Amino acid sequence: MILRIAICDDVQMNITCLTEHIRHYMASYNVQFEIESFTSGEKLLQAQKERPFHILLLDIEMPQINGITIAKYLRDELYDDVFIVFVTSYPEYMQESFEVQPFQFLTKPVTYGTVEKLLSDIIRRYQHSHITKIIVDYYGAEHLIPINDIIYMNTIKSEKRFLEYHLTDTILKGEGTLQDWEIRLENQGFCSPYRGYLINIRHVQIIQAAYILMDNGSHIPVSRRKLTQIQQLYANRIIHVLN
């Protein structure tokens, strides 16, 4: 998922500076953001209603609607997940900003190093809060499932649009494709050992040449070309736990 960033400042030079820092980060870390800029709070709020942003970089000292007023409105409208970052030349505003729960408070002039750390912190926080659970559409009912509870997924040959989600306490059948989940969960310890299967490396018990034993007793086939990759992921997981 591409995160959307809004920059709101009544001075174009400040917008240009922040935009350049963000683009530098994108090139350095091979990540993609959608960046939009606004010189007034009114225009930002209208855009937020039409297509919400994930990250807001707000100047506090703006005419008509300042950054803190914008943030109060968004919190009142229950935009609780948006990362609000205040950018200002006046640190004394920090105390006043606490009630709207800003993620960070940046002091002008903003350096690339500051933006680099900010975006890395936001990405890490976003991934932890949004990828630790997934939504499975189960016959029209959506289930919010912690990814640690997923042992593995497999395709259903007779129903190509559906998967079986093998959880620690049940099995769900829901819409989805393994290709989509493999992309979404590739950095969360999931991998495909064999066509039609996606396993959670956290639930691997034993890796053999022809199969993988999961901790629910399931034997999952493994192809020879995937065996080394699975073994490496498993070893990395053990090292991570021990550390």
- What's the pLDDT at 243? 42
Burial class (CB in 10 A: 0-12, 13-18, 19+), 163: buried
Q: What is the DSSP string of 180-199?
A: HHHHHTTTTTEE-SSTTEEE
Q: Which residues of 180-203 are buried (b: 16+ CB within 10 A; e: fewer)?
A: ebeeebeebbbbbbbeebbbbbbb
CA distance linking residue 203 with residue 153, whole number of Å: 12
Task: Please determine whether the domains at 3-131 and 134-242 fall in the same fold group of CATH.
Answer: no
CA distance linking residue 177 with residue 63, whole number of Å: 49
Residue pLDDT tens, the chain, 243 long:
688 999 999 999 999 999 999 999 999 998 899 999 999 999 999 999 999 999 999 998 888 888 889 999 888 886 778 999 999 887 666 666 667 888 888 989 999 999 999 999 998 887 666 556 677 776 667 777 888 889 999 999 878 788 999 998 889 888 888 998 998 887 788 999 999 999 999 899 999 999 999 999 999 999 999 999 999 888 877 654 444
Q: What is the CATH number of domain 3-131?
A: 3.40.50.2300
Please name the fold of domain 134-242.
OB fold (Dihydrolipoamide Acetyltransferase, E2P) (2.40.50)
Per domain, the residue ranges of the chain are: 3-131, 134-242
For residue 111, give the nearest of 243, 39, 18 by alpha carbon: 18
- What's the pLDDT at 34? 95
Residues 172 and 140 sit within 8 Å (Cβ to Cβ): no
- What's the pLDDT at 95? 63
For residue 94, give the nearest of 115, 67, 119 by alpha carbon: 67
Residue 22, helix vs strand vs coil: helix
